[in-house]
Amino acid sequence: MTLNNGILDIGEIRRHLDFGSRYVEARTVEVWLPRAYAAEPDRRFPVVYMQDGQNLFDPAASFGGVTWGVPEVVSRIIEKAEIRPVIVVGIWNTRHRGTEYLPKTAVHTEIGQAGMAFANNPVADDYLRFMAEEVKPFVDALRGVAHHDETKSAELRKSLERIKWLLWHGNLQRALAVIEDFEEDVDDLDVDYPNLRKFARTAHEFAVYITSNAGSLINYGERISSCLAESTVTAVISKRFAKRQQMQWTPRGGNASV
């Protein structure tokens, strides 16, 4: 849909429902594109990633029915030349907001001591992987081939997601076949994309890397959980640091042990 402040067009928002992830619960991801995005197709735009994404753009989805006014504010400071035109990505929160946003170390050392319920299962590290390995590549694709041919871009993204899933689950032979098809699709691209040659070269380098390291790839779908060992170590360390115990670690000794 297109956002409009009633006077001037202030950009376009693309809403991607049920954005899936290997690490965290699926959610909506919205991408706001400034007016310059359509006017300058070959320009490289910085990207701002924001959390609590449902509060950024749409009053119908915002908490309390009031948005943070991100498109209006960003458009205004762009017009004043205070910043360069930017893309804004809004990542919606879920029922796991607390465990996703709070760093694991802080949860264990501070919040855990306060006895808060969600301190036992922080997933901030998984949320960071979701942003770095899934959301960012997706947005980067929007700034590349998708800017010139969104249908082709969607097909390539789908192939890449398939390749990642196959490699993650140790299905190497099938992954190599899909990679070969992906290379051919990239070679057959006929779009006015200035970095197409570099994109094709990267695709071929990726295929060579996977093929050359096929014997070293790990089937992460068969990982053994380390949560029991981690919880045991945490319990031992907590007990030895407790003041009521006769034997205690000093902070220096405790740090050395971990």
Same domain, 101 and 70: yes
- 114/112 Cα distance (integer angstroms): 5
What is the percent of the chain where pLDDT is above 70? 70
9 has pLDDT over 80: no
55 has pLDDT over 80: yes
**Rounded mean pLDDT, 55-61:** 93
Backbone angles phi, psi at 179, to 5 degrees: -65, -40
Number of domains in the chain: 3
Q: Could you report the per-residue pLDDT of 166-198, keeping only the tens digit for each?
A: 887 888 889 899 999 988 988 888 877 777 787
Which residue do the tokens 């994404």 mark?
Answer: 53
Residue 140 lies in a domain: no
Residue 60 lies in a domain: yes
- 36/44 Cα distance (integer angstroms): 11
Write down the pLDDT at residue 186. 86
Cβ neighbours of residue 198 closer than 8 Å, sequence gap 6 or more: none
Residue 184 lies in a domain: yes
Residue 211 lies in a domain: yes
Structure tokens at 106: 């802080």
pTM over 0.85: no
Residue 102 lies in a domain: yes
- 185/179 Cα distance (integer angstroms): 10
The more confidently predicted of residues 53 and 243 is: 53
162 has pLDDT over 90: no
